[in-house]
């Protein structure tokens, strides 16, 4: 296979994961390896204003988990049960001494992290549904210096996620009785403006 196909396959495998094997821990070394990938991402003004707080101890994971909102479209699912919770988190923060915004650096870096994680057989979920103040308080982050922007949940996946062709503009993900998570994606023809 050529590099393009390898890359496309990695991207297709890089789905949001919300159920993990909580008995398999992830070390700080692994988290730092993922953060290192962000060094090679493009950066508006080349300012590189994003910082990461690694969370991998059981104690801190227990603090962070209840502050996150999972899978808003799965209204009858309260989020992963104890044995399927993430075993680590990366808290992406903006260094406010450098900038008040980060253009699209945040998204570029999040994608690098999730792709890198997938290449290590890990799964991730990018989360925005949380209170930055509460996450900062839980982890002792000084929010006047480092503003939490995103949380990336990390762990070894125990769920199957499948990409589906999107039909009749129905973009909401769903789960079937066999617990498979389905993610509709728009067709290429819809993405192209003629
Ligand atoms: C900017 C952004 C914010 C997100 N926030 C949340 C969130 O707070 N909670 C959650 O469960 N998933 C969150 N997700 C995951 C999306 O629901 C997921 O990307 C989408 O359903 C498509 O699935 P896929 O990532 O497997 O393609 C977020 C994703 C992105 C890119």
CA–centroid distance, residue 45 to ligand 1 (Å): 27
Query: In the prediction, which pLDDT does 74 show?
Result: 98
Q: Is residue 124 lining ligand 1, measured as CB closer than 6 Å? A: no
Q: What is the biggest distance separating any 2 CA atoms in the chain, rounded to whole angstroms?
A: 53
Query: Which atom of ligand 1 is nearest to 130's Cα?
Result: 8
Per-residue confidence of the chain (194 residues) as pLDDT tens digits? 699 999 999 999 999 999 999 999 999 999 999 999 999 999 999 999 999 999 999 999 999 999 999 999 999 999 999 999 999 999 999 999 999 999 999 999 999 999 999 999 999 999 999 999 999 999 999 999 999 999 999 999 999 999 999 988 999 999 999 999 999 999 999 999 99
Query: In the prediction, which pLDDT does 144 show?
Result: 98
Determine the angle formed by the axes of helices 105-119 and 3-13, rounding to 10 degrees.
100
Query: In the prediction, which pLDDT does 7 show?
Result: 98
Query: Which atom of ligand 1 is nearest to 185's Cα?
Result: 27
Query: In the prediction, which pLDDT does 10 show?
Result: 98
Determine which residue's CA is closest to atom 26 belonging to ligand 1.
15
The end-to-end CA distance of the chain, in Å, is 31
Site to substitute for ligand 1 among 13, 14, 15, 16, most atoms within 8 A of C-beta? 16
Q: Is residue 125 lining ligand 1, measured as CB closer than 6 Å? A: yes
Query: Which atom of ligand 1 is nearest to 71's Cα?
Result: 11
Query: In the prediction, which pLDDT does 165 show?
Result: 97
Give the pTM.
0.98
DSSP string, 42-63: --GGG---EEEEEE-SHHHHHH
Query: In the prediction, which pLDDT does 65 show?
Result: 98
- Rounded distance, CA 53 to CA 32, Å? 10
CA–centroid distance, residue 40 to ligand 1 (Å): 23
Q: Is residue 112 lining ligand 1, measured as CB closer than 6 Å? A: no
What is the CA angle 27-160-4, rounded to 5?
A: 80
Q: Is residue 172 lining ligand 1, measured as CB closer than 6 Å? A: no
Query: In the prediction, which pLDDT does 164 show?
Result: 98
């Amino acid at each position: 296979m050529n590099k393009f196909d390898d890359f496309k396959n990695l991207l297709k495998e890089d789905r949001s994961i919300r159920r993990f094997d909580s008995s398999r821990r992830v070390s700080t070394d692994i988290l730092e390896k993922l953060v290192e990938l962000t060094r090679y991402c493009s950066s508006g003004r080349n300012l590189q204003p994003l910082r990461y707080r690694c969370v991998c101890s059981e104690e801190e994971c227990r603090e962070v988990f209840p502050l996150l909102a999972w899978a808003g479209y799965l209204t009858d699912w309260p989020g992963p049960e104890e044995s399927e919770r993430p075993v680590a988190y990366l808290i992406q923060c903006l260094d406010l001494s450098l900038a008040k915004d980060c253009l699209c650096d945040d998204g570029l870096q999040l994608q690098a992290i999730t792709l890198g994680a997938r290449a290590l057989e890990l799964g991730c979920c990018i989360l925005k549904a949380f209170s930055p103040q509460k996450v900062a308080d839980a982890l002792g982050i000084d929010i006047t210096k480092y503003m939490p922007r995103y949380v990336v949940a990390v762990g070894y996946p125990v769920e199957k996620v499948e990409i589906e062709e999107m039909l009749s503009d129905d973009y909401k993900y769903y789960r079937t009785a066999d617990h498979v998570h389905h993610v509709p994606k728009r067709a290429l023809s819809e993405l192209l403006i003629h």
